[in-house]
Amino acid sequence: MLNYDIVIVGGGPAGLAAAVSAKRNGAESILVLERDKELGGILNQCIHNGFGLHTFKEELTGPEYAQRFIDQLLEENIEYKLNTMVLDISKEKVVTAMNRSEGILEIQAKAVILAMGCRERSRGALNIPGYRPAGVFSAGTAQRLVNMEGYLPGREVVILGSGDIGLIMARRMTLEGAKVKVVAELLPYSGGLKRNIVQCLDDFGIPLKLSHTVVDIKGKERVEGITLAQVDENRRPIPGTEEFYECDTLLLSCGLIPENELSRELGVEMSPVTSGPLVNESLETNVEGVFACGNVLHVHDLVDFVSQEAQAAGKNAAEYVLNGKKEGGKDIPIIATQGARYTVPKTVNPQRMDEKHVVRFRVGDVYKNCYVSVYLDDERIIHRKRPVVAPGEMEQIELKKEQLEAYPDLKEITVKIETE
Partner 1 sequence: MEKRELVCIGCPLGCPLTVEIEGTEVVSVTGNTCKRGDVYARKEVTNPTRIVTSSVKVEGGVLAAVSVKTKEDIPKGKIFECVTALKDVCVKAPVAIGDVVLADVAGTGVDVIATKNVIASTS
Residue numbers at the binding site for partner 1 (CB under 8 A): 44, 47-49, 59-64, 67, 146-150, 175-176, 193-195, 197-199, 202-203, 368, 387-390, 392-393
Minimum separation from the CB atom of position 362 to partner 1 (A): 13
Which of 40, 258 has the CB closer to partner 1? Answer: 40
Which of 62, 140 has the CB closer to partner 1? Answer: 62
Which of 144, 218 has the CB closer to partner 1? Answer: 144
Taking residue 204's Cβ as centre, other Cβ atoms within 10 Å add up to 13
Q: Hey, which bits of 313-406 come out as E strands?
A: 332-336, 340-344, 347-348, 356-363, 367-376, 379-389, 395-400
Residues 8, 31: contact at Cβ < 8 Å? yes
Which of 329, 391 has the CB closer to partner 1? Answer: 391
Minimum separation from the CB atom of position 188 to partner 1 (A): 14
218 exposed, middle or buried (CB, 10 Å; 0-12, 13-18, 19+)? middle
Which of 194, 236 has the CB closer to partner 1? Answer: 194
Query: Which amino acid would we find at residue 33?
Result: L
Residues 277, 100: contact at Cβ < 8 Å? no
Residue 310: closest CA among 289, 292, 286, 334: 292
Minimum separation from the CB atom of position 237 to partner 1 (A): 27
Which of 82, 335 has the CB closer to partner 1? Answer: 82
* 42-47 long-range contacts, CB within 8 A, separation 24+: 42/12, 42/13, 42/117, 42/140, 43/12, 43/13, 43/303, 44/148, 45/140, 45/143, 45/144, 45/147, 45/148, 46/143, 46/147, 46/168, 47/147
Minimum separation from the CB atom of position 48 to partner 1 (A): 5
Minimum separation from the CB atom of position 301 to partner 1 (A): 10
Minimum separation from the CB atom of position 175 to partner 1 (A): 5
Minimum separation from the CB atom of position 366 to partner 1 (A): 8
Which of 61, 275 has the CB closer to partner 1? Answer: 61
Residues 256, 143: contact at Cβ < 8 Å? no
